[in-house]
Structure 1
Amino acid sequence: MSRKADIDNAAINALLHRVFGASVPLSYQRTPDGVSTQVYRIWRGSEVFYLRIAEEADENLETEAELHRRLRSLGVKVADIVHVEPFNADIVRSTMITTEIPGVSAAEIADPARAASIVEQAGADLAVINQIPADGFGFVRRRNHRWPLQAEYPQYENFLVSYLPHPWPGPLAFLFNQADLTIIEDLIEHERTRLLTSAVLSHGDFDLTPIFCAGDRYTGLIDFGEIRGTEPLFDLGHFHLHDQESSPATLLPALLRGYSGIQTLPADHLEDIRRSAILLGLRQLCRWLGPPRHYPLDNPAVTHRARRIDELIAQH
């Protein structure tokens, strides 16, 4: 996916002047990590803010602003909302400005013990997020800011098999042996029997990257661009899928310590988390292989994800 072009400077300047006034000089720069979403860091004297532009013209960032406000009222450490508008005529999309979550990403921490301490603290906030109900499964719709947040699928099974190839197994036959495909099929059938009728809100992209810290202090969570309605352990499964990608240590146990202090986990939660990780990885893999991306089978992201799914299957 190619990086979206920068927003016209005149449009940004007009927005910032309207929000902050002209009494204190402002400067801004696009962050290096935004690809599909354009994000700008703003400096106003000693203060730092962030401007986020909606990915599509019909998306309304009031959805995320409402989520931030509700999370803050529950004590979750997320950025405060400075300004949000459903549509900016100059930028031709919805815009949102937030305060800064100070520090650096936990993905930059080299010391495993320090990383574990930060992740454990973040686990408590994640547990609060995962107690919030969502209306439906899949990616949250950003057409309005109704509450509970509305997701794309009314039924769990639609979300469960979203992006999977039809007919089965399609290109997956070139990435997994028959024994692994049989295990995957059994996992899918197991999930079908759960008959989940209600969804919870998930961060949607929860690994070390959105966890921020300053020194040994956890400072908060960022990047709610992939919020979804899901089964209860989706975020834990996502973390497990990506565990050890940027840290040599396995940090899932630390996350679970913080999480379980807020929300009781089922007795068989480790198996449930592993299953969630496999099925999430599988859907992600199929999104890459299908339209519009059509990644080749030897794409490094594809082969890496297939190897990780193999590792998780072997833990059975």
Structure 2
Amino acid sequence: MAGVEEIEVVVAHRQRATLRVGDVFLKVDVDPAHADVEVRAMAMAPVPTPAVLWREPPVLAIAAVPGEALGVLGEPSTASPAAWAAAGAAVRRLHDAPVPPWPGPRLDDLAAELDEECAWLLANAVLPAEVVRRNREIAEAALRPWEPVFIHGDLQITHVFVDGDEVTGVIDWSEAAPGDAMFDLAVLTLGHEDRLDDLLAGYGAGADRDVIRAWWSLRALTASRWLIEHGFDPDTPGCEFDVLRARAREA
């Protein structure tokens, strides 16, 4: 890394920080279990992932992947329909792979979290009560038994990199676990609902659009307090609050 001109802070909050130094990402996490999962998941995943360069807890060093992120939350994605389809095909390969041996999210815990976060949103009046209520109803469709598959667990649009119409890397695997396939598809298209058809063209059969829509609501409801408390703004145009308002208008 000799001759590096600057250090880029990619993300930083009380729980973790990621710095870019040249072509190396340094991930610092207060919980070493996150890095344990990330390293194990990347070794198992049948999709392109970053190379692990070294690990010295609490720091994990990984190589940058080529290409550009599929998009950014709050901005239209400029990636082609073929790139979105390639992302869908990559997600399908992941979901068809052997399930990780560690535990994943529990349905009861998700339901309890949804109740708690909706109560917080209402108590703090950060959104109209009707928006919270309607999205809470929509989210119910996600709270059903599922057949666990290998999920990324935090498949934000910024975590999938493409070069032209090819997926070149999927990053940030610390939430990987057995889970609901529809959750990954929903997180990837959150705020980019207009690209769902392109994604599913590559993913293939088996996607449940109603459940994906339910996960859009559930994800946005349960993430909002964390974002606010860690210095992010879910009310930025195109982000979580806009997703919730859009779902409520569809009622």
Does the alignment reach a TM-score above 0.5?
Answer: yes
| Match in the other structure for 2:179 | 230
Scaled by the length of structure 1, what TM-score is found?
0.63
Quick check: which has more Rg, 1 or 2? Answer: 1
Q: Percent identity?
A: 18
Verify the 8 A CA contact 1:207 1:239 in the aligned structure 2: yes
2:168 matches 1:208: no
Give the whole-Å Cα distance in 1 for the aligned partners of 2:172 and 2:200: 21
Q: Secondary structure, in 3 states, of the residue corresponding to 1:223?
A: coil
Q: Secondary structure, in 3 states, of the residue corresponding to 1:218?
A: strand
| Match in the other structure for 1:161 | 112
Instruction: Specify the code of the residue in structure 1 equivalent to 2:2.
Output: L
| Match in the other structure for 2:200 | 256
Verify the 8 A CA contact 1:161 1:283 in the aligned structure 2: no
Q: Larger relative contact order (C-alpha < 8 A, sep ≥ 6)?
A: 2
2:8 matches 1:31: yes
Q: Residues 84-99 of structure 1: matches in 2 within 5 Å?
A: 84=55, 88=56, 93-99=57-63
Verify the 8 A CA contact 2:70 2:162 in the aligned structure 1: yes
Give the whole-Å Cα distance in 2 for the aligned partners of 1:31 and 1:201: 31
Verify the 8 A CA contact 2:34 2:174 in the aligned structure 1: no
| Structure 2 alignment gaps of length 5 or more | none
Q: Which has a greater percent of helix?
A: 2
Q: Residues 1-316 of structure 1: matches in 2 within 5 Å?
A: 26-28=2-4, 29-36=6-13, 37-43=16-22, 48=23, 50-56=24-30, 58-59=32-33, 61-71=35-45, 74=46, 76-84=47-55, 88=56, 93-107=57-71, 112=78, 114-132=79-97, 147-151=100-104, 153=105, 155-162=106-113, 164-165=115-116, 169-172=119-122, 174=125, 175-178=127-130, 180-192=131-143, 194-196=144-146, 199-227=148-176, 229-243=178-192, 250-260=194-204, 264-266=205-207, 269-288=208-227, 293=229, 300-302=233-235, 305-316=240-251
Instruction: Specify the code of the residue in structure 1 equivalent to 2:128.
Output: F
CA root-mean-square deviation? 3.4
Taking structure 1 as reference, are residues 230 and 161 closer, same or farther at Cα in structure 2, changes over 3 Å only?
A: farther
Q: How far did 1:100 drift?
A: 3.0
Q: How far did 1:210 drift?
A: 1.9
Instruction: Specify the code of the residue in structure 2 equivalent to 1:272.
Output: V
